[in-house]
Structure 1
Amino acid sequence: MKAMIITLLAALLVPVTNAEALEPFDPAKATRWPGVETVEPEEAGIGRKIEDVPFFQLYGQATSLYKLTGDMGTVIVVRDPDCPVSVRYGPRISKMAHNYSNKGFSFAFIYLNEHLDVNRLQKDAANLRAPAVKIGRGSFAIASALDVKSTGEVFVLDSENHLVYRGAIDDQYGFGYTQDAPTHNYLRNALDARLKNMSIHTPATMAPGCAIDADPKKDDFLPVSPDSALS
């Protein structure tokens, strides 16, 4: 008993480091990579044209991916209110949407959590306060077309809907670590390069987050109107 007490006291006295680090609610759903890793552009599908995908906005309007295209292209953000990485990046991506939507980029959020009810999704969409389309049913079809792997990913399409960037917003947050500030602003750099008609220095990365199974059949559980309920 005495040895057990000493062990417990020792554990309590160990300094806590990286207290701000994010941890997945369900470790089994975390991506296998905790941080950002660069990916070869060919492997990531950079340059391929993304097919048009029909969808319903969270508030009921039916439209399609191509109809979103801005003069400079489209930024598609993966969103899951139950994923700590996705939640932490909400304010930052919302600010970027405000800054870059005035420069010719359209923004859209795809919701990839079929277990949340429509009220939870709409509340999250309202809290984002971003000038962006929030997508309900059709999110998983878009995710399948993009080959989404993680809730931490963002995708940039050019004005002709070719994939020009996919990966992390930046490298500040991941599972098990948090930096004081990002050292690589991948998305911002990609958008700035597009505005300058320059090539993107890092067009593809892995993005830490909750792992995604982009099965279009899951769209059956996402809302098609404000009054629809999720199973």
Structure 2
Amino acid sequence: MKSTNKTLFALLLALGVNAQALEPYKKSQATNWLGVEVVEPQLAGIGAAIADIPFFELRGHSSSLHKIAGPKGTVMVVRDPECPVSRRYGPRISAMANSYSDKGFSFAFIYLNEHLDADRLQKDARDLQVSGIKIGKGSFTIAQALGVRSTGDVFVLDSKQRLIYRGAIDDQYGFGYTQDAPTHNFLRNALEAELKGRSVVTPATLAPGCVIDADPEKDDLLPIPPDAALS
């Protein structure tokens, strides 16, 4: 009973105190997020090798996951410009991409909103102001392989394409939850650990955002890049 009361109290506190907390867009289902929730690494697929999946960039160039890998690894960022959590973290992830790309990590953004047209996706890609790869067609196939659950998910693959981190960027923002500053910088800590040759202390968490249905068939609903067709 005490546990139930504590949970209810935490929920009411988050909803009441955080008057400026983010809200889901339209009728999208929000993930449950009242702070940090660590996931068992084995259940999160940590250590699994990710296959070389082909895709098209928003600008039309074809490539694949293994081809875009950096010397130290690859950071895969879920992106949806209609999701408040994704938008809020845009400047932060862009700053990290600009910083860690110089340290050997490539950054790729997978767009998982099949309702947006090409102009809207291209505008968001420009607004990010980062040179990372922006993936269009093929995003949902990649999402299924990674096990994407939320628009707030990020993933880190090492130089051998093994998953070493998945989850939240940090613990500052969520639906019905916000802090003045993050207390756990999950993604940054994972990248620093990989640079130093150490194991990631917290390799998996849940992430705030809207629930993602990672159905590869949705790739057919994404805008087709100019003169492009998946082989």
TM-score, normalised on structure 1? 0.89
The Cα shift of 1:86 comes to 0.5
Does residue 166 of structure 1 match 2:166? yes
What does the per-residue CA deviation read over 1:184-206, in whole Å, with 9 as the maximum and x for residues that have no partner?
A: 00000000000000010000000
Residue 25 (structure 1) aligns with? 25
Q: Which moved more, 1:28-37 or 1:126-135?
A: 28-37
Alpha-carbon distance in structure 2 between the residues aligned to 1:153 and 1:23: 17
Q: Provide the aligned length of Structure 1 versus Structure 2.
A: 213
Alpha-carbon distance in structure 1 between the residues aligned to 2:116 and 2:141: 18
Alpha-carbon distance in structure 1 between the residues aligned to 2:200 and 2:163: 12
Unaligned runs of 5+ in 1: 1-15
Q: Secondary structure at the match of 1:119?
A: helix
Given that residues 151 and 210 in structure 2 are in contact (C-alpha distance below 8 angstroms), is that contact kept between their aligned partners in structure 1?
yes
Alpha-carbon distance in structure 1 between the residues aligned to 2:191 and 2:158: 10
The Cα shift of 1:223 comes to 2.4
What does the per-residue CA deviation read over 1:22-80, in whole Å, with 9 as the maximum and x for residues that have no partner?
A: 01014551113343310000000000000110000000001101101100000000000
The Cα shift of 1:158 comes to 0.4
Residue 217 (structure 2) aligns with? 217
Q: Secondary structure at the match of 2:77?
A: strand
Alpha-carbon distance in structure 1 between the residues aligned to 2:28 and 2:87: 18
Residue 181 (structure 1) aligns with? 181
Does residue 80 of structure 1 match 2:80? yes
TM-score, normalised on structure 2? 0.89
Q: Which moved more, 1:132-141 or 1:219-228?
A: 219-228
Residue 96 (structure 1) aligns with? 96
Residue 63 (structure 1) aligns with? 63
Alpha-carbon distance in structure 1 between the residues aligned to 2:97 and 2:125: 13
Unaligned runs of 5+ in 2: 1-15
Alpha-carbon distance in structure 1 between the residues aligned to 2:21 and 2:57: 33
Does residue 202 of structure 1 match 2:202? yes
Alpha-carbon distance in structure 2 between the residues aligned to 1:76 and 1:224: 21
Alpha-carbon distance in structure 1 between the residues aligned to 2:50 and 2:115: 27
The Cα shift of 1:227 comes to 8.0
Q: Secondary structure at the match of 1:44?
A: coil
Given that residues 33 and 174 in structure 2 are in contact (C-alpha distance below 8 angstroms), is that contact kept between their aligned partners in structure 1?
no
Residue 108 (structure 1) aligns with? 108
What does the per-residue CA deviation read over 1:83-136, in whole Å, with 9 as the maximum and x for residues that have no partner?
A: 110010000000000000000000000000000011000000000011200000
4+ residue stretches of structure 1 with deviation over 6 A? none
RMSD of aligned residue pairs (Cα, Å): 1.4
